[in-house]
Every structure is written in C-alpha cells, then in structure tokens.
Amino acid sequence: MTLTLLSLTARQLLGRRRAIVIGLLALIPIVIALLYRLAGDTGAADDFTVGLVGGFVFTLLLPIGALVFGTGALGSEIEDGTIVYLLARPIARWRIVVAKAVIASLATIALTVPATLITVLIALEGLGEDSLWLAAIVPAAVGSVVYSTLFVGLSAVTGRALIIGLVYVFVWETVITNLFDGTRWVSVSQYVSGVSDALTESPHVSANLDGSQSLIASLVVIAVALAVGVRFLQRFEIGEQA
Amino acid sequence: MAAEAAANAATHAIEVRNVSRWYGDVVAVNDISFSVGPGITGLLGPNGAGKSTLLHMISGFLRPSAGAVEVLGEPSWRNTGIFRRVGLVPEREAIYPFLGARDFALASARLHGLADPREAARRAVALVELEDAQDRAMGGYSKGMRQRAKIAAALVHDPDVLILDEPFNGTDPRQRLQLMEMLRRRAAEGCTILFSSHILEEVERLAENVLVVINGRLAASGDFRQIRRLMTDRPHTFELRSSDNRALAAALVGLPHVAAIEISDGRMDVRTSDFGAFTAAIARAASDCGVTLRELRPADESLESVFSYLVGS
C-alpha cells in the first residue's frame, strides 16, 4: 500500500514539466563554479564557495526546488482532482501525507545534494579544508526535508501554496528575518545555516542558531507540517457547489 | 436500538436524514431525506440542482451543514473505513495520465490491500471491456475510455455500494449499453448502486427507482411510474387504438373522470383525472359498445413527462 502511494507520487511528480525546468536551475551553481575555475583567480576559493552555496544553493535552489516538489506532490493532486482516487480508499490520511512528504523530500535532495557537491568539488578542486563539503551537503539534505515537508503541509491547507511559499521564501526569509532577530526561529534558511555552521570550523560560515537549536527547530517544523497536513486532509471537502 | 439500526443498514445501504448543505448564503441541498437499498437508483435533476453535493456528502467528501448521512450503518463524513465496501466514481475527468487502465486498477487494488491485486485488476478491467487498451497510458484515452477506467478502479474490490457521479458522460451508445448491462448484473447480485445523471433517458433505461432533486430539494422519490400515478392533480393521458375509435369515444365521453378525447390518424388520446378508475372502466365501455380494444398505453408515464411535471410545478 505504502509502496503504491510512493510510486504514484513519484511518477506524478517527476513527469511534470516544471520538475524538469527546476532541474535546469541546479546546473547554474555548477556552471558558475566552472567559470570561477576557468577564470584562474582562485585565491579566495573557500570564501567564494561559501558565498555560492549560501547565496545561491541555500537561498534559491533549495527553497524553490522544495516549493516545486512539495506543492506538486500533494497540491497538484488536490487541484487536478486525482486526490479522490487516494482519499476514496481505506487508507489512513497520515500515510498519504507522509508518502507525499517523503517523495517530495527525496526529489529535493536529488536536486540539491548532487548539485551542491559538484559545485563544491569544482570550486575547491576537491573536498577542501574545514569539512566545507560536509557543511554544504548535509544542510542541503536537512533543508530539503524541512522545506519539502513544510510545503506539502501548506498545500493541504491552501490552494495558493505556491504563492504563499514564494512570499515566505523571498519576503519572510530574505527580508523580514534579516530585519528582526526573533524571527530566526521561524526561518528554515536559518536552520540550514545553523546546521552548516555546526559542521565546519571555517571562519567564512556563520549562523544565528547553533546546530542543536537548528535540528530541534527543524524537527518541530516537520512534525507541525505533517500534523497540519493530516488534519486538513482528514477534513478535506470537495469544494464545488451542486 | 442497535438491532434496529443494524437491520436498517442491511436493507438500506444509504440513509440520508434531514440533510442540508449550504455555502455561505447559498443553499445547495435543503432538508432532504431518503434511503437507498440494493438495486439501481438514479439521482436525477437539472444541472445545479444539488446532485453532486448530495453524492459528495454520501461519499464522505462533504460535511452536511445539518442532518445525517450514513452508509452501511456508519456516518460517512471523515470515515475512510466505508471505502472497504464502497466504490466511488467521481464526475471529474481527472486521471493519472501516465498509467494504463490495468495499472490504475492495480494501484486501486493495492491501496485496498487486496490479497490478489493482479487478479482483481484483471477482473475489473474485463468488466468494463477495456482489455484492448489496458496497457496504453490513459492520457491518450477518449473520455468514454477514461470513464470506464474510473469505473474499473472503483469496482476492483467488489464493493457492496457503488456511487457513480454522471458515469455515462462521454461514453458512446455501445459503451453505454455495455456499462448499463454490467451495472444491472451487479445490482442483481445485491449491490446497491446510486448514480446521478441529468439525462432522462439514461435514468429511465437503467434505474428501478429515481430520486428527483430540483433546486436542492427532493421533488420525488420511488418508481417513476408510481410517482406519475400519485400526481393526481395532473390529468393522465392514454393512447388507444380500437376497431371503432369514434364509437368508443362516444362511450367514454360520458364517464365522469374522462376530461378530453382527441381522435387523429387512427388513434385516440384520452385524458383522465383518475388513472385507476379509467383503467377499470375502459374494458367494460369497449365491451358495451361492441368495440375491440387493440392497444391501450399510458402516454405520459415516461420519466421525461414526470420530470417536466415536477420541474414545472
């Protein structure tokens, strides 16, 4: 039963055109890293790599990829009506939500982690020092799970999950979180930075939250997103009149 | 009390009691009560009458604003367990475009946790006669083929109750006949089938009972011929052919319940205010005037006339 849910979700998600488009986005940091190496000025490779990973992968590729896969996994099924074929079966709603979150997370990991690793390998001509490669791919994986689950939960709540997700990523995380210190607790990008900072001694990496704070906050977000998603799917109504 | 409820559930698979549903100020369904037992019941009404809202409430996808809906003795709202014995064919055409009909039915069988999902899927696809196209992706199916694939997926677990929302949309006449025959067989095996349609002919040909919904209210329910006969405020029309229509007309015109007689092209149309009294009197009247009655049939007992009376009333 669970395998069927996973398989249906994966086939539906990866067959969508926007999934292919977002795959192309993952090539951008790799191309930038290649151009950096080809330019020959590699004096500040660590600084450049941290800037590229933090400035592009963590703040753009990761949340946008998770938004596309997270909302696509559940929201698109609700929107096109195929969700009825899952809900009209004797399946606990939590299984559906968890299956959607697992596939969306795996798809986002598959998008971000290899792209991050290849970017780091090219920019640093290897794994580099201070475990920088680890400080890049582990938070990418953690962020993939947190963001994806958050957006799966959000798409169970509203049909406008894509727009709200974009506002969250580009307004809340990029602007508000930088203006008000207390909001770091409700920013997934801050958790990603916190995990990254905990894994390296590099002076180029810094964060507002420490590693354990970030992990605990990540688990809370995952749990809340799943609980909210299950709750809304349990009370799902076909929203048309007559 | 519990025994009574169990007995009721056995005879009436679907119970709708004083159910209303409104969206803001708009009342979609207004205080409707009915029960549906084994056999085929057609839910009939014009577009926007509240048919889909009712079916959504029965299948647990819409919470009634008031009243109660029970399927197989259990409330349907938020009750995923009912789908072990209920099959649902939604109206929306949405399908998984990358799956073939067989894989769609197979996925459904697996989601039901059936012991032999492959055999169940094979059987369901055969029931809707979609074997030839079962391995082609449904994205390339015609509307009628998609409908049949949806029905196969809903039948895969051999449900006791089958709910179909406009199931014949997009099907060609041959497919429609085949699906109707299949549904009749299932009904004969004891399945409770409730389907909605705005096409009178479909309901007339398939349903043993009808529920007529108009403007969110239940306008009539039961056998539509019985409904027509109960509409005593509307004269009934009979079509007659006899050896001498004029002589028979002269004999009938004196009967108190005969309102009008019209003779044309070898046939006679008689309007009567009392269905029972007229059918009892016609044979004697013909015999008394030495006329042979060759044909006698109600001319306005079709579902169409019942429906137009109800809509017009």
Mark yes or no for CB contact B111/A89 under 8 Å.
yes
Check CB contact of A237 with chain B, cutoff 8 Å: yes
Mark yes or no for CB contact B28/A1 under 8 Å.
no
Mark yes or no for CB contact A85/B153 under 8 Å.
yes
Among chain B residues, the shortest Cα distance to A92 is held by B80
pLDDT for A106 = 96
Q: What is the pLDDT of residues B239-277, one digit of tens each?
A: 888 899 999 999 888 888 888 898 888 889 888 888 778
Mean pLDDT to the nearest integer, B282-292: 88
Determine the residue type at B74: E
pLDDT for B257 = 85
pLDDT for A101 = 97
Mark yes or no for CB contact A80/B52 under 8 Å.
no
* CA distances (Å), origin A9, targets A14, A100, A233, B184: 8, 6, 16, 35
User: Backbone phi, then psi, for B292, in 5-degree steps?
Assistant: -90, 125
Of the partner residues A1, A235, A238, the one whose CB lies closest to the CB of residue B113: A1
Q: What b/e string do you get for A16-28 counting C-beta neighbours within 10 Å, with b at 16 or more?
A: eeebeebbebbeb
pLDDT for B233 = 65
* Contacts of the segment B262-265: beta carbons below 8 A, 24+ positions apart: none
- Contact residues on chain B for A87, CB-CB shorter than 8 A: 61, 80
DSSP letter (8 states) at residue B13: S
* CA distances (Å), origin A177, targets A13, A52, A72, A172: 31, 20, 26, 6
Which residue is associated with the tokens 């939604």? Answer: B90
- Contact residues on chain A for B108, CB-CB shorter than 8 A: 85, 89
Mutate to test the interface with B, among A16, A77, A241 (most CBs of B within 10 A): A241
Q: What is the pLDDT of residues B197-227, one digit of tens each?
A: 877 778 888 888 889 888 899 988 888 777 7
Q: Which secondary structure element, helix H or strand E, spans residue B176, and what is its range?
A: helix B173-188
Of the partner residues B49, B84, B99, the one whose CB lies closest to the CB of residue A242: B49
Mark yes or no for CB contact A12/B96 under 8 Å.
yes
pLDDT for B301 = 64
Mark yes or no for CB contact B88/A88 under 8 Å.
yes
User: How high is the mean pLDDT in each 10-residue block of chain A (242 residues)?
Assistant: 88 79 91 89 80 92 95 91 93 95 96 95 82 91 97 94 93 85 85 89 78 94 97 83 37
Other CB atoms within 10 A of residue A163 CB? 11
- Contact residues on chain B for A11, CB-CB shorter than 8 A: 96, 98-99
Among chain B residues, the shortest Cα distance to A94 is held by B80
Check CB contact of A212 with chain B, cutoff 8 Å: no
Mark yes or no for CB contact B84/A81 under 8 Å.
no
Among chain A residues, the shortest Cα distance to B95 is held by A82
Contact (Cβ atoms closer than 8 angstroms) between residue B28 and residue B6: no
The model's confidence at residue B24, banded by pLDDT at 50, 70 and 90, is confident
Check CB contact of A17 with chain B, cutoff 8 Å: no
Among chain A residues, the shortest Cα distance to B96 is held by A82
Mutate to test the interface with B, among A78, A89, A97 (most CBs of B within 10 A): A89
Mutate to test the interface with A, among B62, B110, B158 (most CBs of A within 10 A): B110
Token code pair at residue A97: 């939500």
Q: What is the pLDDT of residues B173-197, one digit of tens each?
A: 888 889 999 999 999 999 999 999 8
Pairwise CA distance, residues B161 & B14, whole Å? 8
Mean pLDDT to the nearest integer, B99-116: 95
In the predicted model, is pLDDT for residue B110 greater than 90? yes
- Distance in Å, alpha carbon of B244 to nearest chain A alpha carbon: 52
Cα atoms in the 13 Å half-sphere on the side-chain side of A186: 9
Contact (Cβ atoms closer than 8 angstroms) between residue B48 and residue B29: no
Mutate to test the interface with A, among B78, B80, B160, B162 (most CBs of A within 10 A): B80
Of the partner residues B26, B94, B98, the one whose CB lies closest to the CB of residue A15: B98
Mean pLDDT to the nearest integer, B139-167: 94
Helix A45-52 and helix A27-39: axis angle, to 10°? 160
Check CB contact of A181 with chain B, cutoff 8 Å: no
- Contact residues on chain A for B95, CB-CB shorter than 8 A: 82
Helix (H, G, I), strand (E, B), or coil: what is residue A65? helix
In sequence order, the β-bridge partners of residue B68 are B17
Mark yes or no for CB contact A85/B96 under 8 Å.
yes
Considering the entire predicted model, what is its pTM? 0.82
In the predicted model, is pLDDT for residue B150 greater than 70? yes
The model's confidence at residue B111, banded by pLDDT at 50, 70 and 90, is very high
Token code pair at residue B256: 């108190």
Q: What's the ipTM?
A: 0.85
Among chain B residues, the shortest Cα distance to A85 is held by B108
- Contact residues on chain A for B111, CB-CB shorter than 8 A: 1, 4-5, 86, 89, 91
Mutate to test the interface with B, among A12, A85, A87, A234 (most CBs of B within 10 A): A85
Contact (Cβ atoms closer than 8 angstroms) between residue B100 and residue A12: no
Mark yes or no for CB contact B92/A84 under 8 Å.
yes
